[in-house]
Amino acid sequence: MTGYLVKRILTALLTLLGVAFVTFVLLKSVPGDPVEVIVGEQASEETKAKIRESLGLDRPFFSQFFGYISLACRGDLGVSYITGEPVGRTIAQKFPNTLILALTAALLGVVLGILFGVVAATFRDSFADRATTFVSVLGISTPVYWLGLLLIFFVSYKLKLLPASGTWNQSLACLFLPAIALGTRSACYIARITRSSMLEVLSADYVRTARAKGLSEAAVVLKHSLKNSIIPIITIIGLDFGSYLNGSVLTETIFGWDGLGRYAMTGIMNMDYPVILGTVLIGAAVFVVVNTIVDILYVFLNPEMRTGENSVGS
């Protein structure tokens, strides 16, 4: 296990270095000058040159890149060109907002997705199954942007139940709409995956054996079938949660949620290199960590993976 973890950590570090390099190359190839964004076009060339020098933008590419990496290794993600505030500190301030939204959306997705998936698989070809399939296809095909606007229109504007914008620390009520907008798609995916995975497991020999032993249907479904079909569901949850933790640009923009996604978007619009690099690096790190946790969960949930066996029922 220790060897596995060391291998994963080393791979993660290499991945982060690669991500930083690719982002750096892309930033330098995009047309536009960050100095002009900071000071406006009408500043004198002398002032622009001094600002360029003070930001280190006049140095050669590799000097800038390795300078940034060496600072990042010490936990310094630089200072925003626009606000003058440390990027690391700002990310730390905004991360709780993104985390709370991600957790709520993921919770919603997991609870509803697994519930409807199990019901659909258990009552295959019933009305509940067809309705779940229809709603999940609809949910997957509806863009988050559109769903967000619909929620604002009906829940906030027509029914006047919940606020249309804000962050949870202004009011907990602000959390519901973005969480629903973000979690619905995830719930639909999880419902479909749970259904197909459950259907496969429900026809397995050991499930028939469990029934033959006289176990209740609830015990058969929840204890024997769901547990054995959980691996693909965990994969989807991990991927979704990882992307939520990076901040959802669209959801955060529509609902005025002050999270990492909006911070990254502001950085991109302002050509604020330290903000872009910082959010991309942290985002990549979050993905790597979440995926590592998911991999470790696989090992715990599936004993075959612990022993190295790879065939089911052989």
Whether the CB-CB separation of 237 and 190 falls below 8 Å is answered with yes
Q: Crossing angle of helices 176-202/87-122, nearest 10°?
A: 40
| Contacts (CB under 8 A) with another protein, residues 115-144 | 122-123, 125-126
Q: Per rule CB under 8 A, is residue 61 in the interface with another protein?
A: no
Residue showing tokens 């058969």? 220
* Rounded Cα gap, residues 292 and 304, in angstroms: 18
Which residues on adjacent β-strands are paired with residue 79? 86
HSE-up of residue 3 (Cα within 13 Å, Cβ side): 0
Q: Which of 11, 47, 141, 209 contacts another protein by CB under 8 A?
A: 47
Q: Per rule CB under 8 A, is residue 46 in the interface with another protein?
A: yes
Output the smallest distance, CB 1 to another protein, in A. Answer: 40
Q: Per rule CB under 8 A, is residue 218 in the interface with another protein?
A: yes
* Rounded Cα gap, residues 295 and 119, in angstroms: 27
* Rounded Cα gap, residues 93 and 279, in angstroms: 13
Q: Per rule CB under 8 A, is residue 271 in the interface with another protein?
A: yes
Which residues on adjacent β-strands are paired with residue 311? none
Q: Per rule CB under 8 A, is residue 37 in the interface with another protein?
A: yes
Q: Which of 90, 104, 132, 225 contacts another protein by CB under 8 A?
A: 90
Q: Which of 65, 68, 116, 255 contacts another protein by CB under 8 A?
A: 255
Residue 86: DSSP 8-state: B
Q: Per rule CB under 8 A, is residue 166 in the interface with another protein?
A: yes
Total binding residues for another protein by CB under 8 A? 58
Helix (H, G, I), strand (E, B) or coil at 229: coil
Q: Of the ranges 25-33, 191-199, 282-290, 301-309, which one interacts with another protein (CB under 8 A)?
A: 25-33
DSSP string, 99-164: HHHHHHHHHHHHHHHHHHHHHHHHTTTSHHHHHHHHHHHHHHHS-HHHHHHHHIIIIIIIS--S-S
Output the smallest distance, CB 31 to another protein, in A. Answer: 4
Q: Of the ranges 3-11, 42-50, 104-112, 237-245, which one interacts with another protein (CB under 8 A)?
A: 42-50
Residue 48, both tokens: 């622009």
Between 24 and 241, name the residue whose CB sits nearer to another protein.
24
Q: Which of 1, 2, 3, 32 contacts another protein by CB under 8 A?
A: 32
- 268: closest CA among 257, 259, 256, 277? 277
Between 103 and 162, name the residue whose CB sits nearer to another protein.
162
Between 222 and 312, name the residue whose CB sits nearer to another protein.
222
Q: Per rule CB under 8 A, is residue 171 in the interface with another protein?
A: yes
Between 33 and 309, name the residue whose CB sits nearer to another protein.
33
Q: Per rule CB under 8 A, is residue 57 in the interface with another protein?
A: no
* Rounded Cα gap, residues 85 and 275, in angstroms: 10
Write out the residues near another protein by the rule CB under 8 A: 31-33, 36-44, 46-47, 50-51, 54, 82-85, 90, 122-123, 125-126, 149, 152-153, 156-157, 160-167, 170-174, 176, 216-218, 253-256, 258, 262-263, 266, 270-271
